[in-house]
Amino acid sequence: MKHKGSCHCGRIAFEVEGEIKGATDCNCSICQRVGALRWFVPKSAFHLLTPDDAASTYTFNKHRIKHRFCPVCGIHVYGEGADGKGNDMAAINIRCLEGIDLAAIPVNHFDGRAL
C-alpha cells in the first residue's frame, strides 16, 4: 500500500510503500519532546516528492540518526539511519501520513533513554 504524507506547510512531501503493522513511541530526549510515532521502513520504500534540501537535519548523541524536519513549520517528518545489520532505513513519523487511523495502529514503547 502506498501512503502519502507531508509536514504541516507542505514544504516536505513524500510517499512511502508498505503496510503499517505498528509504530514505535520512543522516550529518548528528542522523540519525547517531538511526540513522533515512528514507522521503520527500508530506505528504498521512502520517496521524497520535494527536494531533499527542503528539509533541515538535526543529529545528536552518537549522530547515527538524521532527524529531518521542516525549517518553516517545524514538523519532524522522518529520520534516516541504519538498522542493526547496516541496512539503510527511514523512520516515518506516521502522524504526518494522510488518511490513517492512528488509534488502530499498535504502538510499541521503546526505552531510548537506556541507550
What are the CA-CA distances from residue 72 to residues 55, 80, 81, 95, 102 (Å)? Answer: 9, 20, 23, 18, 25
Question: What is the Cα–Cα distance from 52 to 46, expressed in whole angstroms?
Answer: 12
Question: What is the Cα–Cα distance from 73 to 53, expressed in whole angstroms?
Answer: 15
Residue 115 pLDDT greater than 80, yes or no: no
Domain that holds residue 43: 2-114
Dump the DSSP string for 19-84: ----EEEE-SHHHHHHT--EEEEEGGGEEESS-GGGSEEE--TT--SEEEE-TTT--EEEEEEE-T
Structural domain count, the chain:
1
Helix or strand (DSSP H, E) at 109: strand 107-110
Span 72-83, mean pLDDT?
97
What CATH number is given to the structural domain containing 107?
A: 2.170.150.70
Span 101-109, mean pLDDT?
96
21, with CB counted inside 10 A (0-12, 13-18, 19+), is exposed
- pLDDT number for residue 49: 98
Residue 98 pLDDT greater than 80, yes or no: yes
This prediction has a pTM of 0.92
- pLDDT number for residue 50: 98
pLDDT digits (tens, 9 = 90+) for 29-77: 888 999 999 999 999 999 999 999 999 999 988 888 999 999 999 999 9
